[in-house]
Structure 1
Amino acid sequence: MTVNVLFLCDDNARLGPMAEAYLNADDGRSIRAFSAGLSPAPALAEGVARVLAAHGLVAEGLQPKSWQLFALPHAPVPDVVVGLSAAALAATRRVWPTHARLLDWCVGPHTTRLVGRDALRDAFHELRRRINLALEEGAFRPVALRQIA
């Protein structure tokens, strides 16, 4: 069974796409990562592709998208939803399936202002640290579905 992880942020131009690229980099896991934002930017933020490339990851195929796409009936159903900003998870909490595990990481108070190589690099390192820890602790496993008797 593949576990779908959705990373939510404000504009889906920085944090979400970096987390998505990092988690999807290892094909050996049965985890598929996606990212979305509350108000998607028109394109990835400048520097995101460079930060990913510096870590052997590609930005190809990454683009900002709305969280509302994942609420559609034909969309991948998230098993785990990770809020990367203070507002992201709070604004969408009631939309996700009852079986979804909700994680509120809030990786920085001003995520839409992450500009410059150092800020993006530092944000990527924090995301990588949290993702690795979540993998070790099993936090990306979905909440067990309740059995109906």
Structure 2
Amino acid sequence: MPDKIYNVLFLCTGNSARSILAESIMRKDGAGRFRSFSAGSHPKGAINPFALKVLKAATYPIDGMRSKSWLEFAAPDAPALDFVFTVCDAAAGEACPVWPGQPMTAHWGIEDPAAVQGTDLEKEAAFVAAFRYLKNRISIFMNLPLRSIDSLSLGAKLREIGKLEGSTYPHPKAG
């Protein structure tokens, strides 16, 4: 019997930077095991040029990618989702649509690289950092024993991943 291919949706408000990076990373690194998607609650309608530049430089796919609404994934004919990850704090706080497939969800918030002010070099560096944080989370996620782990343990692991380096999750201050 062939292994299950899991459908993963990455959400952010604008679907122009972090969720796009995550979709591309999962598309390449999880090929054959995962099918990735991204969307936003208020999509900007265009992908941030720095996201495209960083993905191209790292040889990650950008073909067919577009900024789109999360409502596409709440429609009756949408793919049944197995996992939904919010990658920005604003999207995590919004009331999400009901997703087909009753997916497991977790918040993996990281700073918005598109919000960085400064030179193009500083902006690109923010996108490289976001790419690295997302790639790390996705790698750990893909190595979880998804077929054999119980849902309670899996949910806890998914939340732990969201608290890794680069997280916007509140960390205790060092004394």
Would you call these one fold, judging by a TM-score over 0.5? yes
CA contact (8 A) 1:8 1:81 kept: yes
**Cα 1:96/1:140, change in 2 over 3 Å:** farther
* Other-structure match for 2:128: 121
SS in 2 for 1:127: helix
SS in 1 for 2:15: coil
CA contact (8 A) 1:38 1:67 kept: yes
Gaps of 5+ in 1: 145-149
Q: Which has the larger radius of gyration?
A: 2
Distance between the aligned counterparts of 2:51 and 2:142, measured in 1? 23
Root mean square deviation, CA, Å? 2.5
Among candidates 53, 58, 72, match of residue 50 of structure 1: 53
SS in 2 for 1:63: coil
More RCO (CA 8 Å, sep 6+): 1
SS in 2 for 1:96: coil
Distance between the aligned counterparts of 2:106 and 2:148, measured in 1? 11
Structure 2 counterpart of 1:37, one-letter code: G
Aligned residue-pair number: 143
* Other-structure match for 2:72: 69
| TM-fit CA distance, 1:70 | 0.3
Among candidates 133, 136, 148, match of residue 140 of structure 2: 133
